[in-house]
Every structure is written in C-alpha cells, then in structure tokens.
Structure 1
Amino acid sequence: MVYLRGERHMKLIDHVHYFSRLYRSASLFSRNPRSISSLNLTLEDQQRLAFPAIFVGMALCLFLLLSSLQTGMPSINRQVNIGVGLGGMLYIVLAFFVILPFFGPSNPVVHNASVLVNAALISIPILLQPYLMDGVVPLAIATLMASSAVLAGRWPTYLFILLTTAIQMLLGRTEFDGVNSGTWLTSVFLVILTVLVTETITIMKTAISIQFHRLETLNRVAHSLSSSLEIHQVIGLVSNAIQTTLDADTYYLGLMRNDVIWLELLYDDGEFFPSTEVQLDNSLAGWVVTQGKPLLLRNVTTEAREKLGIRVSTIGQPRLSHSWMGVPLEASGRIIGIVAVASYLKNQFSQSDLELLQNVTQQAAMALDNAAHHAEVEDQSRRDTLTSTLNHGALLKSLDYELLDARVTNQPLSLIMLDIDKFKEYNDHFGHLVGDQVLITLCETIRQNIKNTDIIGRWGGEEFVIALPRANAAQAVQVANRIRRAIGEISLFSRDQKPIPAPTICQGIALYPREAGDNIALIDLADQRLYEAKERGRNQIEPDTEAW
C-alpha cells in the first residue's frame, strides 16, 4: 500500500472514466461471494424500471385493437390485429403481474424460459407481418428486448435477439420473396440497436443495483454502529462496509494517539497486518488529519510527484497503490483519526466513492466517540472514586483473569496486601481531607514503582492489593521494598501547608501457585501475612527473602 509523505497540498480531481469504473464495480461483485446476482433489485424496483416497456407494449396492443375498428380494413387484417392485440395484452398481464411475482425476479429458470417464450411469441407477428401495420413488429421486438434487458439481463437478451433474427430470416426465406438487401440492412441495424439498448439498460441497472446496495449497506452500517459500544466492533463494521461497497485493494483505520496516527486496522491485498503508526508530519494521512479535509487521488504516483511534491513509500504489502482517498474521523468537533482506502489500479475512485467513504466515516466517528465515552464510563465504574485504583469487585475480576492466564502459561503470580500504619492518626490529627490526600499520594507512588501490566486495587479503607503477574517471590519482595522506600520519601503537608511525616506501611506477600491455588486462598494468605507484619511493628514486610 502507498504511504505518502511530502508537501501539504491537496487538489480533488473530477471523476472520469465512469463506464470503465462501472464495469470494474460489476466485476468486483462477480469476484466477491456477495456477487452482483445477490444485488438484484427488488421485484417492485424491477417492475418500475420495466414500466416504460410495459406501457409501450400495452399501448401497441391497444393501438392494434383500435386500428381493427377502421372501416374498409380487410377481414383477415382485422382478425389478425384483434388476435395479436388481445394476445399481447394477455401475455403482458400474465408475465409481469402473475408469473414474475410468483417465481421472483432473480429466478434463472424464468429468465431462460422467457427467452424461448418471447422468441416463440414474436414469431407470430413476424409470420403475420403482412396483415399488420408497418412498424408493429420492430416495435414489439424492441419492447420485448428492453423488458428482457431489465428483468433477465444482458445474455438472455442477446439470445432472444439472435433467435428473433434467425426467425425473421427463416420466415423471410420461406414465406416471402427471398432475402433482399433491405432485409439484411434491417437485421444489421437491429443488431446494432440491440447492443446499444441492451448495454445501456444493463449499465444503468448495474449502476442502480450498486447504488442501492451501497445505500442498503450504509443503512445497515449506521444501524449497527448506532448500537455498537465496543471500539473493536466499530472497526470491524467499518472494515466490512468498505469491503462490500468499494473496489479497494487496501484500507486502514487510524486513531490519534498523542502526535501519531496509530493504525488500529490495516488491510492490504487480502491480508490483515499488525497495528503500526504513521507520523503526522509530511504524510498524506497526516495532512488529512491536520487539515480536517478529505482527499482524493486517482493517480497517486503522477499527482504525488507533479502536483503534491510528495515522496511515495509503502506500508503493508511492498507494492505501490495508484489510487487513494482518505477521510478524517471527526467527533465532538475534533479530529480523532482517519479512514483511507487505496487500489493498485489508476482512476479507481470517483467523487461518489469519496462521498460514500465520508458517510461511512461520519457514522464510524460518532460510534467511536460513543464507544470511547462508554469505555470511559465503564472504566470509572470499575474505579475507586478517591484513588482511581480498581474497586473491590473489579479487583477480584482482574485477579481472576490474571490467575487464569498464569495457570494457562504456567507462570507465577505474586500478591501484595498493603496497609498504612496507624492511618487513623492522620485523620484525627490533620483531618479527613489530609487523610484523603495521603491515600491519593500513596496510590500515585505505588503506580510509579510497578509495571503498567501490574494491578492495584483498593481492598477497603486504607488497605490495598497489588497483583504482580509473572513475578516470583524474590521479585515480589524487591517490589515491596521499592514501594516502602518510595513512600518514605514522599512530601505531605497539612491544610496550613506545614510539613507532616510520611506514612509507613506494612505488606504481606503470597505466591501463586507455590503457596495458594486460587484467588481466595491467595488473598487470605497475603492478609494473614500482613497481620503478622503489623504484629512486628511499623514498616514491615512479611515474609522477607531470607525467611521464604
């Protein structure tokens, strides 16, 4: 995938090559398990598209019936016009309002049968053409051709025209005066007209189907995102939306983390890659984020060099992309990241694709913002309101998880139960506000002396629990000593800003699985050793390395 670095300029390029893009879009769905056949329009939509052909067919049949009322028309002509008119009306009603709704618009059996039925039926007015008014047969063929293109598709329509042409030539040789140049010219003209009309209708139907699918996907994504409260779930929905609506070889979703863009999702040429970072300075993604504007490049290498003055490098696969577009993730008035897609083909994306990506990104940004707020609220519910350490319930759940991990990985886990010596004296002599500050400072000091992967929680009152995953006995004692020294060096002040003595602590240590096999036994043992430490006096650790 292309990773662009360089000057901070942007220019949106007007879309071109619409039809080639449309064919590529159709081929995308044909390669995808959700192929274009699965994107067929509903029965009502197909009937609306076919309505002009239905209307013309009914009008033609009505015209034949009315023309039979002319005075002076030979009896055989009148009978033929009435028969063809009534038969055509009956066929239109049965085909479009009975058979099609019953079997469904996407039934391949109906498509194949309709080719043979249409060819057989059109042979009747071809055979009776001398008794019909001029232009009736070509108009009837054009009407069936248009309806077939809408309902059956390209190849059934071509087969119908092929059979119709063969019938015309056959009947022309057997019933009339041979095949003259006018007949050949009419046949050639009919073939050309067939290709033009069929391809136009097919392209229009494909475009409508793709647009309908995109709107359906956007609606589904918006509904799913609105109920998604997990960031990884939001990212998964965005990935699915891009894969099913855009012909992209590469895409990524990045979130701001300090001054870099952290790619939470990176997909390139059929493979998901580990998270990585992209710098804000002198990068295309950085430009989108810092400027807060979308960017569309349809020929990356040329525009990067000639118009943007950027240097092209890669992330993901070691292969350059040639089309690129990116949209900033904006929530609550601030830019929180970027969604970008790319293709190895030039001119792959248009302005409509960029608008589609903007819609997906807008929904994703709101969902990510909601998920972040939900995660914040959920995290606060797990925290002690004073010290921001884990509360009692959250501590037990986290300890259960860490013990399970230790059991699976066959690693030790050490637990420290910690209590402030004679904490009641701080409250009695200096007030509860100073006592609260002592607890807050104590927890901040503990955090500074343990790893980010370690756990600290408030067990109750002035008692705290510290879980040390993958720490053995000697390492646990080392941590306990480090915490004890650090707490002895903290500076505390009374409400009138007079210095007060730092607290001392006692600590009890227990080890899993060496001494306890579950969380209850582990906590009980650490609590028992904390009591033994306090029995020896202030600022004690039980046990120490020598006694263990």
Structure 2
Amino acid sequence: MFDILNQRTSELEKSQAQIETIYETSHTLGERLNLDEVVEEILNMVQNILGYGFFSIFILFDKDTLSLLGEIKEGEKKKYPEPKAERLKGVLQGVVSTGEPKRIFDITKDPDFESDTDGIKSFIAVPMISRGKVIGVMIARSTQIGAFLDQDEKIFSILASSAALAVENALLHQKTQELTIVDELTGLYNFRYFSNKLRAEIRRAKRYHLPLSLIMIDIDWFKRCNDTYGHLFGNRVLQEMSQRIKESVRDVDVICRYGGEEFAVILPQTKKTDAQMIGERIRHRVESGDFVSEDKDSKAKITVSLGVASYPENGRTSKELIEKVDEALYLAKGRGKNLVWTV
C-alpha cells in the first residue's frame, strides 16, 4: 500500500516538475521568430523534459496535407528545412478534425492504425491549437504497450499549445520577411535580395575557390509591347517570363527581378561556358512560344537579350561583376537583340 502511494506521489511530483519546466521553457520558445530555431527548441523540450524516443511535429499545409517539420527517431533529432509532405488520413485526420487528443494503448489491436516498422506499440497524438484553430499535430510513440497515461496526455497537450503559438508566430514572421524580399508581381526575389545574395555568393566563391556566374536578362521591345497591348498584358508577360526562366535553370540558381523588364540569375559554382549554355536555354525557351493574355484575346512573340559575366575573370566584387554583365547585355542589345553575349 505504502509502495503504491510512494510511486503515485513520485509520479505526480515528476509530472508537476515537467509542467513547470515546460512553462519556464515556453518563454524562451515564444521569443524565437526563426522557424528552424523553434523546431529545434521543441525537439529539445520533448527529448530533455518528456524523454520521448519517438516524436514528430507536423503543421497543416492544407486541408488534406501535413508537413513534417521535425522528428525524433530512436533518440536522434532531425529537422526538415524543406518540410516533408504527408497525406492527412487515419488517426491524425481525426485529431485535426475534432481538435481532440488521441491515445492508443495497443496499436496492434487498433484497426485504424497502420502497421509500424519501428516496433511501436503505443501512440499519442495531440492537436496544436493556436487562436482557436488547429494548425498542426504532435505525435509521440513508444515501443511499450500502454506507455501514455492521462497525465502524459495533459503534459503533452500543454507543450503542444505552447509549440502551436511559437510555430504560428514564426510562420507569420517568415511571411513578413518574405514580403520584403519578394517581388509581388512575379513572385521572384527582388533587387534588395539580389544585392545581398550576390555579395554572399562572391564571398563563398572566394573562400572555397569556386566559379560563379551572373546572367542579366532584358525583354526586347518591352515598351512597344506595353504600348501595343496595354500594361495588363505587359504584367502577364513579366509573370510568364519568370516562369520560363525558372523552367530553364537549376534549383540551385537564384532568379531575381532586377527592375522593370530586367531579370538576373545568380549561378553558383558555374563557369562562364556553362552559364552561356544556360543563357542560351533561357533565350530559346522564351522565343519558342507565344505569350498569351489571360483572356486569350492577345498574343505576342517575345524575345530577350542576355549578358553573361563570371567571377573571378570579369570581376571580384559585386559592383565589378554587375558592371561587366551590364556591358555584355548592352552589347547583346546593340548587336540585334535576341542574343546571349559574354565578356
């Protein structure tokens, strides 16, 4: 009898200590505005305070999809800067739709639970609710049957509540930051971002002795296009142009709207000959198909002129590289347009 009472007292004291630690740590969590740092802190709290060996945190991407931000698997933490998408279904779908936690004492006896390859026997999922709305789910798993009790659900829910607010604040901050570096019309990075990114890439190229190239793109006869078809069609051309450039370059390349009808592409670890080939691919992609208005009433053939310059042969600073790529672009325009020119 006394042994049982002592055990229950010990469990209550442990739970109370966990709750107090979560509340204390939540202040630090709430001060972080970088999503990566927020996820790192949540993983630390789960590992150090709750001691869970299997844990995952998801945010709701849309009504049918979850994005995995981070997880703990057999004690090893892992974050996903590019969240992994997973279809919302089964138990988690129920947690999201009801906004209520779900505990499974023995998953081998639960028909709604899919088989697990990690030897998992029990499971708990709690909704992440911020401002009355479910924004994600946190789940913990165990290789022991019945590992999660009422008190575990209570503590896990407290952590999920703090995590939800921190994650939502970080996402809002991220969107605000993106507005300052993204061009509203095209969705590409703007000139401000371009300037900082080019300087950063030049520093990296210097440090690791890597090549770096820059392409400047200008739409030929764009003013005439605006005068003939109107500015709405001109905007449509800029948007379609952005898409065609994206389709012509690699994932590592950085596309920016430099200003007006000019675009810039930063090509990390790229020699001039390769950059020229990429420029030619862009030029061909642009001229290969008509640009059509949204209402399909107007269409036009559009071409671009491109200048190419490379580090270090054309410049060792961002100012020098931009001057040289401008020179190349000027020569491409002057020699008949619809050309790729290198210096």
For this structure pair, what is the TM-score category when the shorter chain's length is used for normalisation? 0.7 to 0.9
The letter of the residue matching 1:361 is A
Contact 1:249 1:343 in 2 (8 A): yes
Matches within 5 A, 1:285-324: 285=92, 288-289=95-96, 292-298=99-105, 303-308=106-111, 310-315=113-118, 320-324=119-123
Question: Which secondary structure does the structure 2 equivalent of 1:312 belong to?
Answer: coil
Equivalents in 2 of 1:254, 1:447: separation in Å?
29
Q: Please tell me whether residue 270 in structure 1 is matched to residue 75 in structure 2.
A: yes
Q: Please tell me whether residue 236 in structure 1 is matched to residue 40 in structure 2.
A: yes
Contact 2:107 2:121 in 1 (8 A): no
Question: Which secondary structure does the structure 2 equivalent of 1:417 belong to?
Answer: strand
Contact 1:231 1:371 in 2 (8 A): yes
Give the CA deviation at 1:382: 0.5
Which of 16, 20, 31 aligns to 1:227? It is 31
Matches within 5 A, 1:84-123: none
Equivalents in 2 of 1:487, 1:238: separation in Å?
46
- Who is 2:319 aligned against? 520
- Who is 2:169 aligned against? 370
Post-superposition Cα deviations, 1:46-69, rounded to whole Å, max 9, x if no partner, equal xxxxxxxxxxxxxxxxxxxxxxxx
Give the CA deviation at 1:383: 1.4
Alpha-carbon RMSD: 3.2
Equivalents in 1 of 2:198, 2:242: separation in Å?
18
Pair 481,247 (structure 1): closer, same or farther in 2 beyond 3 Å: closer
Equivalents in 2 of 1:408, 1:398: separation in Å?
15
Matches within 5 A, 1:460-539: 460-492=259-291, 498-539=297-338
Contact 2:66 2:88 in 1 (8 A): no
Post-superposition Cα deviations, 1:1-48, rounded to whole Å, max 9, x if no partner, equal xxxxxxxxxxxxxxxxxx9xxxxxxxxxxxxxxxxxxxxxxxxxxxxx
Question: Which secondary structure does the structure 2 equivalent of 1:458 belong to?
Answer: strand
The letter of the residue matching 2:31 is S
Q: Please tell me whether residue 414 in structure 1 is matched to residue 221 in structure 2.
A: no
Q: Any stretches of 5+ residues in structure 2 without a counterpart?
A: none
Identity of aligned residues (%): 27
Equivalents in 1 of 2:334, 2:323: separation in Å?
17
Contact 1:226 1:367 in 2 (8 A): yes
Pair 531,242 (structure 1): closer, same or farther in 2 beyond 3 Å: same
Contact 1:247 1:343 in 2 (8 A): no
Matches within 5 A, 1:309-348: 310-315=113-118, 320-331=119-130, 335-348=134-147
Greater strand content: 2
The letter of the residue matching 1:523 is I
Give the CA deviation at 1:512: 2.0
Which of 453, 456, 465 aligns to 2:252? It is 453
- Who is 1:430 aligned against? 229
Contact 1:249 1:344 in 2 (8 A): no
Q: Which has the larger radius of gyration?
A: 1
Size of the alignment, in residue pairs? Answer: 340
Contact 1:280 1:287 in 2 (8 A): no
Equivalents in 2 of 1:257, 1:311: separation in Å?
22
TM-score by length of 2: 0.84
Q: Any stretches of 5+ residues in structure 1 without a counterpart?
A: 1-18, 20-195
Give the CA deviation at 1:436: 2.6
Give the CA deviation at 1:399: 1.8
Give the CA deviation at 1:294: 1.9
Pair 252,460 (structure 1): closer, same or farther in 2 beyond 3 Å: same
Pair 413,257 (structure 1): closer, same or farther in 2 beyond 3 Å: farther
The letter of the residue matching 1:296 is R
Q: Please tell me whether residue 217 in structure 1 is matched to residue 21 in structure 2.
A: yes
Equivalents in 1 of 2:317, 2:271: separation in Å?
16
Question: Which secondary structure does the structure 1 equivalent of 2:116 belong to?
Answer: strand
Equivalents in 2 of 1:291, 1:466: separation in Å?
47
Post-superposition Cα deviations, 1:174-212, rounded to whole Å, max 9, x if no partner, equal xxxxxxxxxxxxxxxxxxxxxx4x9957963x4554344
Equivalents in 2 of 1:351, 1:496: separation in Å?
59
Pair 434,345 (structure 1): closer, same or farther in 2 beyond 3 Å: closer
Which of 152, 159, 162 aligns to 1:353? It is 152
* Larger displacement relative to structure 2 (388-397 or 269-278): 269-278
